[in-house]
Amino acid sequence: MTDYAVLFPGQGSQNKNMLRNFDGDDIFDRSINTSSQILGYDIKKIIEDESKLNNTLYTQPIMVATSIAIWRSFLSQSNEMPVYAAGHSLGEYSALVANGTLSLEDCLNVVTERAKYMVEAMTGVEGGMAAIMSNDPDINLSAIVEETCKSLSNDREFIEPVNYNSPNQIVIAGHKKIIDSCESEFKTRGIKRVIVLPVSVAAHSSIMITCSDKLYKLLNNMNILEENSLFPVLHNTDASKKNSKVDIIKSLCDQVCSPVLWETTIKKMFNNNISSFIEIGPGKVLTGLNSKILPKDDNIKCLSIDKIENINEAVGVNND
């Protein structure tokens, strides 16, 4: 039996085909219908409208609903539970539904409010995000990003590293004015690729502190399973599992205004003898990041379940 981990993607992996790719799967369809009833709108119709699909107020709950539908389809064919789970940013909520910490209904309600809180936190602030990338093995990317962010920031406007995604990719967020003008400074420090992302919410930056405060009040009124979850979830803030309601809530509240330590999370799983990783959700973003984080080794398997045909292959990995 191969020990494996499941990974749940976050916002940005959504696409118009993410439901069509599972046409004919009854378990998937039933789960999507259940989520539509909870949310009070037809997910299938929303996805047909790309402007709504990419509106964070819809994107966050729909990503969770789709990832959990895929998880349920996968689980119906799998003989063994994963040893670990993790979710990138929003995907952490999907992971907590998968392991039983949160109910699907509570989770969809939380992420719907979370999306509103994030938008509200940007009131009066022009925000942005950018991906900073380098394939140069002689460059210490994290040190350069941290130093550059500090040098370009001031008391009124700032940028911060918010996603430590892989050795060659770190995402920054903060005030749009600095985001839009930071490329030249990064290039003087040897960074060749700076890609400004088409978003206005400065996710995981300290601009989101008001969102964190509101989330705390909301989560405190939720039913959260403290023990006996199906498997541990490694949280974004410190790549560790949380066992108490207090710690789970604190981690989720800190997460929205703190960096996502994705590279650290994947390395921790690998160092604990995990060599098979299955991405549960639309797209292949996390599978791509794993190819940059993990060593080149034929024994390491990274698969994504973004369409129904991939389920059998993934089940074959964890049932070996």
For the segment 265-308, what is each residue's pLDDT rounded down to a tens digit?
999 999 999 999 999 999 999 999 999 999 998 899 999 998 89
**Separation between Cα atoms, residue 75 and residue 315, nearest integer Å:** 9
Residues 103-139 as b/e (b if ≥16 CB within 10 A, e otherwise) read bbebbbbbbbbbbebbeebbeeeebbbbebbbeeeeb
319 pLDDT tier (thresholds 50, 70, 90): low
CATH class held by domain 127-200? alpha beta
Q: What is the pLDDT of residue 84?
A: 97
320 pLDDT tier (thresholds 50, 70, 90): low
> How is the beta sheet containing 4-8 ordered, strand by strand?
84-87, 4-8, 276-280, 301-305
Q: What is the pLDDT of residue 152?
A: 97
**Separation between Cα atoms, residue 124 and residue 2, nearest integer Å:** 51
**Separation between Cα atoms, residue 187 and residue 12, nearest integer Å:** 26
> DSSP letters along 90-152, please?
THHHHHHHHTTSS-HHHHHHHHHHHHHHHHHHTTT--EEEEEEE---TT--HHHHHHHHHHHH
pLDDT tens column, 147-179: 999 999 999 999 999 999 999 999 999 999 999
CATH number for the region 4-121+207-315 comes to 3.40.366.10
Q: What is the pLDDT of residue 313?
A: 86
Tokens of 222: 């939720």
- State residue 171 phi and psi, 5-degree precision: -100, 135
* Cα-based distances in Å from 167 to 133, 137, 140, 143, 203: 9, 9, 9, 11, 20
Asked if pLDDT for residue 311 goes beyond 60, the answer is yes
Average pLDDT, the chain: 94
**Of 25-29, 40-44, 112-116, 297-301, which range is least confident?**
297-301
Is 285 in contact with 13 (CB distance < 8 Å)? yes
Reply yes or no on whether 89 is catalytic.
Answer: yes
60 pLDDT tier (thresholds 50, 70, 90): very high
At residue 268, the 3 state secondary structure works out as: helix
Q: Which of 89, 166, 205, 212 is catalytic?
A: 89
Is 194 in contact with 183 (CB distance < 8 Å)? yes
Reply yes or no on whether 103 is catalytic.
Answer: no
Percent pLDDT > 90 in the chain is 83
Q: Which of 35, 204, 212, 258 is catalytic?
A: 204
| pTM score of the predicted model | 0.95
Q: What is the pLDDT of residue 200?
A: 87
**Separation between Cα atoms, residue 264 and residue 97, nearest integer Å:** 22
The alpha helices in the chain, defined as continuous H runs, are 26-39, 43-48, 50-53, 56-75, 91-98, 104-121, 141-152, 176-181, 183-188, 209-219, 245-255, 262-271, 285-293, 310-318
pLDDT tens column, 170-210: 999 999 999 999 999 999 999 989 999 988 899 999 999 99
Distance linking the first and last C-alpha atoms of the chain:
5
At residue 298, the 3 state secondary structure works out as: coil
For range 74-100, the mean pLDDT: 95
Asked if pLDDT for residue 24 goes beyond 90, the answer is no
318 pLDDT tier (thresholds 50, 70, 90): low
Asked if pLDDT for residue 67 goes beyond 60, the answer is yes
Asked if pLDDT for residue 15 goes beyond 90, the answer is no
Question: What residue spans define the domains of the chain?
Answer: 4-121+207-315, 127-200
Position with higher pLDDT, 27 vs 298 = 27
